[in-house]
Chains A and B, each alone.
Chain A
Amino acid sequence: ETGVTQTPRHLVMGMTNKKSLKCEQHLGHNAMYWYKQSAKKPLELMFVYNFKEQTENNSVPSRFSPECPNSSHLFLHLHTLQPEDSALYLCASSQPRGVNRDGYTFGSGTRLTVV
Chain B
Amino acid sequence: DQQVKQNSPSLSVQEGRISILNCDYTNSMFDYFLWYKKYPAEGPTFLISISSIKDKNEDGRFTVFLNKSAKHLSLHIVPSQPGDSAVYFCAASPGGMLTFGGGTRLMVKP
Contact = CB atoms under 8 A, between A and B. Distances in A.
Contact of B97 (A41, A88, A90, A97): A97
A97 B45 CA distance: 20
Interface residues of A, number: 31
Interface of B: 2, 9, 31-32, 34, 36, 41-46, 49, 89, 91, 93, 95-98, 100-103
Interface in A30-61: 31, 40-43, 48, 56
24 contacts: A2-B45, A4-B43, A6-B43, A9-B41, A40-B9, A42-B2, A42-B101, A42-B102, A43-B44, A56-B97, A90-B43, A90-B44, A92-B43, A94-B96, A99-B95, A100-B32, A100-B96, A103-B46, A103-B91, A105-B46, A108-B41, A108-B42, A109-B41, A109-B43
Contacts of B91: 103
Interface string A72-95: 000000000000000010111010
User: By DSSP majority rule, is chain B's interface helix, strand, loop, or mixed?
Assistant: loop
Interface of A: 2, 4, 6, 9, 31, 40-43, 48, 56, 88, 90-92, 94, 96-109, 111
Contacts of B46: 102-105
B41 A42 contact: no
Nearest to B43: A106
A25 to B, nearest CB: 12
Contacts of B34: 102-103
A102 B101 contact: no
A76 to B, nearest CB: 15
B41 A103 contact: no
Contacts of A96: 96
Contacts of A101: 32, 49
A45 B78 CA distance: 32
Nearest to B41: A111
Contacts of B32: 99-101
